[in-house]
Each structure stands twice: as structure tokens, then as C-alpha cells.
DNA sequence: GCCAACGTTGGC
DNA sequence: GCCAACGTTGGC
């Protein structure tokens, strides 16, 4: 597929447990994630980078910032028409739903951090689909990763708004994943509401205090903490 | 349409 | 390696 500019959304997930149980466990899980991913990193070294020398503490932080530490995501995309180099980059959740098999590739990401997060994604993980640059920004639905990262073909397409002349087929610079529609959230969750929570949590030390949507505002693919997902489940249950 | 935030580029 | 210029993101 080729979805021209999608890029930002977030993910949430399904879990069989109650939101309360998840919430209660979230701190512990955070610890376990650190430990586990540090171990995984040691045993299965991806070829990629051996960038950052890391102390113990940093190992934990860096893995949280990267792969296996996260199982949910937020991915942003624009649901309203906007033309980039003559091409409409509109791609809302309804557009995803309309695709064959309700599946599309998430092409067009041209930010290293966002790309790296996509490379960390694993099949089966879920993400929130966030509508950006539109009248009503916010979380519209839930999608899941159905194909792990592979080269984004649009980087080689001169006609594509996201063509990158500096990338080669031998060593592609940009990646994409395939995503599939899962469902709409029970209600649209506007940015304003997320912001309210974020601000409250900044004061109280709550779980959304460092939500990437606000702390890294231009990042179109971002990891999601367990807590937001839990809060959403709880919210949906109360409907 | 404005513009703040912030990532990237390139001269030095 | 610094940093100013520039381009993009994305809320409003």
C-alpha cells in the first residue's frame, strides 16, 4: 500500500486483564521491562548500532526509549486533505478502514527517532491512531502492527512527496511497517482532554506526566506507556 | 494563515 | 563541533 503521509498515532492495547489490575501492576511492569530488555539486548544484539555506551541506569532508560520496552504506540496521521508537492497526504482512520483488508503501510516517516521506533515494533502490537493537523486533533481508534519494519518504497519514488535522493536501495534510509485497523475507540479522545490529564499529572506526578505527545511534540511515532492504555480501557468500560 | 517548537543542514 | 539559517510539524 502506500499511504502518503501518515504519521502519527498511538497505540493501546488489549489485554485480558482488568484496567484496575493493569494499573496496579504498572510500576512493577516498568521494572520488569527494564530488566528484561536489558537482558534481551545483551543476548540478541541487533546489528544496528552500538552507539551509546551505557551505564546500568542508562541501559534501562535507553531501552525504554527504544524497542522491546514498549508494547504500545501512538501514530499520527492527517485525516484532512493537504497537498504536498501536488499529492494529497490525507490519511485518516477511515481511509485505513477502506483499504483492502483494512491494512496499509505506514510510509512517509522521515524522522530518525520515529523511524527507530517503527523498527522496534513487533507484529501484534497495537497503537493508537491519532489524528493530527486537523480541526479536531485526538485519538480516533486502535490499529495493530501486522508487518515489521521494511524499506519504505516511497523514498525511491521521485514522484512521491517524501522522496529522498540521498537514500539508496543498497542501504535504504527509511522504514515503514504495515498496520491494520482494529477498531474505533468508543469515543473520540480529543487532544484537549489528553492535555488536561497531562497537566494534572505533571503536578501530581501521575502516569501521563511525561507523555511524548507533549514532551516531544513533533514526534509522529511514539511509544505509549501502559498507563494511557489502561486509562482508556477504564474509560471505555465506564461508558 | 500564523507562528512556536524543534529537527536538519551546511558554512566556518 | 558550533550555531545560524532554514524547513517542517502541527496546534490554534
CA angle A104, A105, A107 (to 5 degrees): 135
Q: How many CA atoms lie within 13 A of A101 on its CB side?
A: 9
Q: List pLDDT tens digits, range A95-135.
A: 999 999 999 999 999 999 999 999 999 999 999 999 999 99
A50 CA – C3 C1', rounded, Å = 28
What is the spatial distance between Cα A143 and Cα A85, in angstroms, rounded to a whole number?
A: 28
A219 C-beta less than 7 Å away from strand B: yes
Question: Tens of pLDDT along A32-75?
Answer: 333 333 333 333 333 333 333 332 333 333 334 444 457 799 99
For residue A51, say whether its CB is under 7 Å from any atom of strand B.
Answer: no
In angstroms, what CA-CA distances link A168 with A106, A164, A173?
19, 9, 7
Gap from A236 CA to C8 C1', in Å?
35
Task: Assign domain A6-13+70-238 to a CATH class.
Answer: alpha beta
- CA dist., res. A139 & res. A141, Å (int): 6
CA distance A238 to A84: 41
Supply the pLDDT for residue A230: 80
Q: Where are the domains of chain A?
A: 6-13+70-238
Outline where A134-225 has alpha helix (H). Answer: 191-204, 212-215
A47: which residues sit within 8 A by CB, 6+ positions away? none
- Please report where in the chains the cell 542501504 appears, as a residue: A171
Instruction: List the single protein residue with the shortest CA to C1' distance from B7.
Output: A111
Chain C bases near protein CB atoms (7 A cut-off):
8-12
- Does nucleic acid strand B have an atom less than 7 angstroms from the CB of A217? yes
SS3 content of chain A, % helix, strand, coil (to 5): 35, 25, 40
Please tell me which residue lies nearest to nucleotide C9, judged from CA to C1': A218
Return the pLDDT at A69. Answer: 58
Give the CA A147 to C1' C10 distance in Å. Answer: 28
pLDDT confidence of residue A17: 32
Give yes or no for residue A138 having a pLDDT over 80: yes
Average pLDDT in chain A: 77
Amino acid at each position: 500500500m502506500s499511504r502518503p503521509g501518515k504519521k502519527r498515532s498511538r497505540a493501546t492495547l488489549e489485554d485480558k486483564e482488568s484496567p484496575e489490575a493493569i494499573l496496579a501492576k504498572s510500576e512493577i511492569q516498568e521494572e520488569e521491562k527494564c530488566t528484561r530488555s536489558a537482558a534481551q539486548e545483551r543476548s540478541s544484539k541487533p546489528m544496528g548500532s552500538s552507539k551509546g555506551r551505557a551505564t546500568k541506569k542508562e541501559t534501562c532508560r535507553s531501552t525504554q526509549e527504544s524497542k522491546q520496552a514498549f508494547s504500545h504506540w501512538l501514530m499520527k496521521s492527517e485525516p484532512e486533505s493537504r497537498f504536498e508537492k501536488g499529492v494529497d497526504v490525507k490519511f485518516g482512520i477511515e481511509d485505513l478502514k477502506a483499504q483492502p483488508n483494512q491494512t496499509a503501510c505506514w510510509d512517509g516517516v522521515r524522522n530518525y527517532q520515529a523511524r527507530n521506533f517503527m523498527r522496534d515494533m513487533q507484529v501484534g502490537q497495537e497503537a493508537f491512531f491519532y489524528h493530527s493537523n486537523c480541526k479536531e486533533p485526538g485519538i480516533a481508534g486502535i490499529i495493530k502492527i501486522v508487518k515489521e519494519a521494511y524499506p519504505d518504497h516511497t523514498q525511491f519514488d521521485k514522484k512521491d512527496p517524501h522522496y529522498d535522493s540521498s537514500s539508496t536501495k543498497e542501504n535504504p534510509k527509511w522504514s515503514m511497517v504495515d498496520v491494520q485497523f482494529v477498531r474505533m475507540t468508543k469515543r473520540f479522545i480529543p487532544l484537549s482532554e489528553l492535555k488536561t490529564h497531562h497537566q494534572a499529572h505533571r503536578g501530581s506526578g501521575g502516569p501521563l506526566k511525561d507523555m511524548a505527545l507533549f514532551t516531544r511534540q513533533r514526534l509522529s511515532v511514539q511509544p505509549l506507556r501502559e498507563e494511557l492504555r489502561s486509562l482508556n480501557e477504564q474509560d471505555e468500560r465506564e461508558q
